[in-house]
């Protein structure tokens, strides 16, 4: 049995390893229905369609050298509370100063203790593109993301049927935001490519048992088309990791837990960037 942390029910709820992702998805669907009853879809759709203040997430990751998406999250299913002194605005400002190219913000409430208000606060604090990191399962969440100021949002292939994946990708284009499409195995990568993904994130963390291996990124990189931007996510801790992923052909990396567990996330990001000469520092 896997010791799974779930803050809105009971800290320490036991969940079978194979059920981790499905448990999160079930909780997320319930949340979406609650939100739909509180804020009508039409209101979000109107706000999303009227928005014009976009920052180009894809361009931020398109430099010649490796770019860094620095992540903000308060907790995780595998580690529980990551940071009791949680100040999203201040952390995002320190990331920007350290040289991040974009900021990722966890907004899932039940298992990561996130909030969409955290993303709004970050968007107002920095000038970088902001990614909404969540379990997007319904078009309601797509409109919500755009209306709240996201410049990009995550789509997890393992959590979606092909028809929904394609629909959300088309919707992102219409709303002028970017979708980061996340995969973990070859079959998911094939589905992402078939759906038309332009930015593919390889999650080194298995979402069913939460085990992490950078070998996942190295194994899948050669199968990602050259027309797509490639992002390696999770388990990145050292300058050597950054250099290895850059040499493997990745355009960007997403670093979260390692930074959030450090005494000073911004300072730790700066240290990592300086320890790996292949890294692109935003604004440099």
Determine which one of 67, 71, 101, 108 is catalytic. Answer: 71
Determine which one of 233, 251, 257, 280 is catalytic. Answer: 233
Any catalytic annotation for residue 233? yes
Determine which one of 67, 145, 234, 270 is catalytic. Answer: 234
Domain ranges within the chain, ordered by starting residue:
2-275
Determine which one of 94, 104, 172, 203 is catalytic. Answer: 203
Any catalytic annotation for residue 247? no
Any catalytic annotation for residue 203? yes
With cut-offs at 50, 70 and 90, classify the pLDDT of residue 8: very low
pLDDT tens, residue by residue, 122-155: 999 999 999 999 999 999 999 999 999 999 999 9
Structure tokens at 215: 């070998």
Determine which one of 101, 133, 206, 268 is catalytic. Answer: 133
Q: Looking at the predicted structure, is the pLDDT value of residue 232 above 80? A: yes
With cut-offs at 50, 70 and 90, classify the pLDDT of residue 64: confident
Determine which one of 67, 73, 145, 188 is catalytic. Answer: 73
With cut-offs at 50, 70 and 90, classify the pLDDT of residue 206: confident
**DSSP readout, 84-112?**
SS--HHHHHHHHHHHT-SEEEEE--HHHH
With cut-offs at 50, 70 and 90, classify the pLDDT of residue 207: confident
The CATH superfamily assigned to 2-275 is: Aldolase class I (3.20.20.70)
Least confident of 85-99, 103-117, 199-213: 199-213
State percent of the chain over pLDDT 70: 91
For the chain, the C-alpha Rg in angstroms (whole number) is: 17
pTM of the model: 0.92
A 10 A CB-CB count for 278 gives 14
**DSSP readout, the chain?**
-EE---SSS-TT-EE-GGGHHHHHHHHHHHHHHHHHHHS-HHHHHHHHHH------HHHHT-SSSBEEEEEE-SEETTTEES-SS--HHHHHHHHHHHT-SEEEEE--HHHH---HHHHHHHHHH-SS-EEEES---SHHHHHHHHHTT-SEEEEEGGGS-HHHHHHHHHHHHHTT-EEEEEESSHHHHHHHHHHT-SEEEEESB-TTT--B-THHHHHHGGGS-TTSEEEEES---SHHHHHHHHHTT-SEEEE-HHHHTSSSHHHHHHHHHHH-TTBPPTT-
User: What is the distance between the alpha carbons of residues 223 and 246, in angstroms, rounded to a whole number?
Assistant: 16
Determine which one of 182, 188, 257, 268 is catalytic. Answer: 182
Would you state the pLDDT for residue 20?
83
Work out the mean pLDDT of the chain and round it to a whole number. 92
A 10 A CB-CB count for 149 gives 19
Any catalytic annotation for residue 267? no
């Amino acid at each position: 049995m896997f010791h799974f942390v779930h803050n809105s029910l009971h800290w320490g709820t036991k969940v079978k390893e194979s059920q981790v992702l499905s448990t999160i998805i079930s909780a997320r669907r319930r949340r979406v229905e609650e939100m739909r009853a509180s804020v009508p879809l039409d209101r979000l759709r109107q706000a999303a369609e009227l928005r014009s203040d976009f920052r180009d997430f894809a361009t931020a990751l398109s430099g010649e050298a490796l770019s860094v998406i620095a992540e903000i999250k308060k907790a995780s299913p595998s580690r529980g509370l990551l940071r009791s002194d949680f100040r999203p605005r201040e952390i995002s400002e320190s990331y920007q100063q350290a040289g991040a190219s974009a900021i990722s913000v966890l907004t899932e409430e039940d298992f990561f203790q996130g909030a969409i208000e955290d993303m709004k606060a970050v968007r107002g604090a920095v000038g970088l593109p902001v990614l909404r990191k969540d379990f997007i399962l319904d078009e309601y969440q797509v409109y919500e993301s755009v209306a709240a100021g996201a410049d990009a949002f995550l789509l997890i292939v393992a959590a979606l049927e092909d028809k929904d994946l394609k629909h959300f990708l088309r919707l992102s284009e219409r709303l002028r935001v970017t979708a980061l499409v996340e995969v973990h195995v070859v079959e998911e990568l094939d589905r992402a490519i078939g759906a038309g993904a332009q930015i593919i994130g390889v999650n080194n963390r298995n979402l069913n048992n939460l085990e992490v291996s950078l070998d996942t990124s190295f194994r899948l990189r050669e199968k990602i088309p050259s027309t797509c931007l490639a992002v390696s996510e999770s388990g990145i801790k050292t300058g050597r990791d950054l250099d290895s992923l850059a040499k493997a052909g990745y355009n960007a990396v997403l670093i979260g837990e390692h930074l959030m567990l450090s005494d000073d996330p911004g300072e730790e990001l700066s240290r990592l960037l300086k320890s790996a000469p292949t890294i692109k520092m935003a604004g440099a």
